[in-house]
């Protein structure tokens, strides 16, 4: 067998990085549960007609097919791996509406797959952490103001750089475009959403080609997209552009409320950024994108928004609002910058030294006592000289070595970093709190 080569876009973290990822996921999960979100996991595959019915995603979906499926067997051809967790969640709500209590709050932490070009912080297989709130028939607006506050708490609890949540409302953009006289506001939204990627000149061309905008209409769209404010002053800036439409009024009022709630709960967390549109067609109200301060050039690490019609079938309608943290994206950027570290590469706190092979059972009992008290422990793999066993612990990053007493003598434990060695009883000895678990820090 030839030496395998890594697959681009499918990250496999080393154990220290995986430990950081698990820590991050645990902290995010804990915050979500503090806000009352219940855990959920959906299947990895969805029918293609569900995956492709909203937004420009057809080029990103991985299709599921058995290698040796018979030509006449098309049972798998209509299935694809999910590219996000919102579309599967909407399907789940429709299927289980009779068993759920509304408004339904759920969190979901799972892998997703997208067939896009891999680059730094962007993968084909990656972990997302989502929250959504859905209700039957109508969803009160105040949930749109709550979502960024949850994310602010979740991310501020992590040892990562500050985040800034950019907020807009699709009604502001759509109402503005309709007020200008554009007849295809969705095409205009998709064009403006590419502003950071292709620049204003190319966006102006797209607005003309795909949304039917005149030169003056395209310039007005770009002027709207230039508006940014850390407070509610964006409203007067939009009004100054002289465009009027009832939907624009509604969107501005809602965006003001979001910014006011953010200013009260977490000053400086949110900024009104009127170029934020979100490319997926199912968003209908508030939209969010989150930048990691110092890593802005890589784009959003957390995004989402309000959707009214995604979870709907016939007369059943379940509007919702949600947001997704790109866990792998966030960590990939920080790992690439060496911006996160772990205090030791393994969970093990104590290595029980093995005097002889005949004493392994006794050493296993000592290790079991320590583990029952919550101290991660392993027994030395062999009865080598103690110097070799200590070096083994050093290579593994294990801070303490436990030496069984001989001829009735007391056991001892050694901090191999400082060289300090003391008498110890496995029933009572406890390491310092900083050594009990792996610690995640920023260098």
- The structural domains of the chain, with segments of one domain joined by +, span 15-341, 350-441
* Structure tokens, 316: 């059943």
CATH number of 350-441: 3.40.50.800
Model pLDDT, residue 1: 63
Residue in 21, 10, 8 with CA at minimum distance from that of residue 334: 21
Query: Distance between CA atoms of 389 and 378, rounded to whole angstroms?
Result: 12
Residue 322, CA atoms < 13 Å, CB-side half-sphere: 32
Three-state secondary structure call for residue 79:
strand
Instruction: Match domain 15-341 to its CATH number in 3.30.930.10, 1.20.120.160, 3.40.462.20, 3.40.50.720.
Output: 3.30.930.10
Model pLDDT, residue 120: 85
Model pLDDT, residue 367: 98
Q: How far out from the chain centre does Cα 266 lie?
A: 20
User: Do 10 and 78 meet the contact criterion of CB atoms below 8 Å apart?
Assistant: no
Model pLDDT, residue 279: 63
User: Do 27 and 157 meet the contact criterion of CB atoms below 8 Å apart?
Assistant: yes
411: region left, alpha or beta (phi > 0 left; psi from -120 to 50 alpha): beta
Query: Distance between CA atoms of 336 and 290, rounded to whole angstroms?
Result: 19
Model pLDDT, residue 251: 96
User: Do 271 and 230 meet the contact criterion of CB atoms below 8 Å apart?
Assistant: yes
Q: How far out from the chain centre does Cα 95 lie?
A: 25
Neighbour tally for 372: CB within 10 Å:
11
CB contact burial 220-232 (16+ within 10 A = b; e otherwise): bbbbbbebbbbeb
Query: Can you give the pLDDT of all 443 residues of the chain as single tens digits?
Result: 678 888 899 999 999 999 999 999 999 999 999 999 999 999 999 998 888 865 556 678 998 887 776 655 556 568 999 999 998 999 999 999 999 999 999 999 999 999 988 888 889 999 999 999 999 999 999 999 999 999 999 999 999 999 999 999 999 999 999 999 998 988 898 899 888 889 999 999 999 999 999 999 999 999 999 999 999 999 999 999 999 999 999 999 999 999 999 999 999 999 999 999 876 678 899 999 999 999 999 999 999 999 998 888 788 899 999 999 999 999 999 999 999 999 999 999 999 999 999 999 999 999 999 999 999 999 999 999 999 999 999 999 999 999 999 888 999 999 999 999 999 999 999 999 999 999 999 88
Model pLDDT, residue 337: 94
């Amino acid at each position: 067998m030839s030496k395998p080569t890594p697959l681009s876009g499918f990250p496999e973290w080393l154990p220290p990085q995986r430990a950081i990822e698990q820590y991050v996921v645990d902290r995010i999960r804990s915050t979500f549960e503090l806000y009352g979100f219940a855990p959920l996991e959906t299947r990895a595959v969805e029918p293609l007609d569900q995956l492709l019915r909203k937004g420009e995603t057809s080029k990103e979906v991985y299709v599921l097919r058995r290698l040796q499926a018979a030509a006449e067997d098309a049972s798998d051809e209509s299935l694809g791996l999910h590219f996000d967790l919102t579309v599967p969640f909407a399907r789940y709500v429709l299927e289980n509406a009779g068993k759920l209590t509304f408004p339904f709050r759920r969190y979901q932490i799972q892998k997703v797959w997208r067939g896009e070009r891999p680059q730094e912080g962007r993968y084909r297989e990656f972990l997302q952490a989502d929250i959504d709130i859905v209700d039957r028939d109508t969803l009160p607006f105040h949930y749109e103001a709550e979502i960024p506050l949850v994310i602010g708490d979740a991310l501020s609890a992590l040892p990562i750089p500050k985040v800034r949540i950019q907020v807009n409302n699709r009604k502001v953009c759509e109402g503005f475009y309709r007020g200008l006289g554009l007849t295809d506001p969705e095409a205009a939204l998709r064009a403006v959403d590419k502003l950071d990627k292709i620049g204003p000149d190319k966006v102006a061309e797209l607005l003309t080609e795909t949304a039917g905008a005149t030169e003056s209409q395209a310039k007005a769209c770009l002027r709207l997209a230039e508006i940014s404010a850390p407070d509610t002053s964006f409203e007067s800036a939009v009004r100054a552009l002289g465009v009027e439409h009832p939907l624009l009024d509604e969107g501005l009022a809602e965006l003001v409320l979001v910014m006011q709630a953010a200013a009260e709960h977490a000053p400086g967390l949110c900024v009104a950024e009127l170029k934020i549109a979100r490319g997926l067609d199912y968003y209908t109200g508030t939209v969010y994108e989150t930048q990691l301060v110092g890593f802005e050039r890589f784009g959003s690490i957390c995004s989402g928004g309000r959707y009214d019609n995604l979870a709907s079938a016939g007369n059943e309608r379940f509007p919702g609002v949600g947001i997704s943290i790109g866990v792998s994206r966030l960590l990939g950027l920080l790992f690439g910058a060496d911006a996160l570290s772990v205090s030791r590469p393994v969970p093990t706190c104590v290595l029980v030294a093995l005097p002889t092979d005949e004493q392994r059972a006794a050493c296993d009992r000592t290790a079991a006592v320590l583990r029952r008290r919550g101290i991660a422990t392993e027994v030395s793999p062999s009865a080598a000289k103690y110097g070799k066993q200590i070096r083994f612990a050093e290579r593994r990053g294990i801070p303490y070595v436990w030496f069984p007493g001989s001829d009735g003598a007391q056991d001892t434990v050694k901090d191999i970093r400082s060289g300090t060695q003391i008498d110890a009883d496995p029933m009572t000895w406890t390491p310092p709190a900083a050594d009990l678990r792996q610690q995640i820090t920023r260098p």
